Amino acid sequence: MSAPALSRTRIKICGLTREADVDAAIEAGSDAIGFVLYPKSPRAVTAERAAELASRLPPFITPVLLFVNEDAPKVIASLAQVKGSIAQFHGEETPQQCEEAAGGGRFRYMRAARIPLGDAGAGFDLVKYASDYSHAQAILLDAHVEGYGGGGKAFDWSLLPPAVDAHLVLSGGLTPANVGDGIRILRTRCKTLSVDVSSGVEIDGPGNKGLKDAGKIRQFVAAVRAADASFSS
């Protein structure tokens, strides 16, 4: 069940709002691009805007649409509008609600698991959570903070179970400086490991949420590839 030694860590850059940032993520070698369709988020875009930005993607790069407790018909319509997209559910959606919002198998989806910060993270039963959401393509791991999304915070990765029968996506507080540590800690604990970054590759300063730094994106991808190489050396 452990990830093969030579498996490549997939990378998603999330919370994109501008053409230049989509292009930078593509150029750096990202595997997926995330668009936030949660109106209360400072990085929110409409489905129409997501479709416009996603039209810049070349083949084999996946657009991901993030939803929080959204009505199933709106989720289905948005996924249909952004061709080739998959859903990422970040609210209190039950397994049944995820299936309904994914069109009963018409679309693929990921389910976010909100892991408590600090020692409390050890009490989160990720094995059961992954089993409950067994129809999800992957379980995304994010820090549990006020509101939805990790808020740029990282939970204690070492407290997660040693073996989880699921594809995992590590998120929450990742940066070019720490993503390698996250990969080294979690890579052998799941089927495959991917990583998801948003605030960690944004332009510094207040008011810049949703505005990415192309240099930081390149640094993040390079750090992931360096961590991958350490497993094969």
Active site residues: 14, 142
CA distance linking residue 166 with residue 160, whole number of Å: 13
Say how far apart CA 22 and CA 56 lie, in whole Å: 8
Q: How far apart are CA 188 and CA 191, in angstroms?
A: 8
User: Rounded to whole angstroms, what are the CA distances from 31 to 22, 63, 79, 84, 112?
Assistant: 12, 9, 18, 13, 18
d(CA 120, CA 221): 30
In this structure, are residues 110 and 132 in contact, taking their beta carbons and an 8 Å threshold? Answer: no
CA angle in degrees (0–180, nearest 5) for 209-52-32: 65
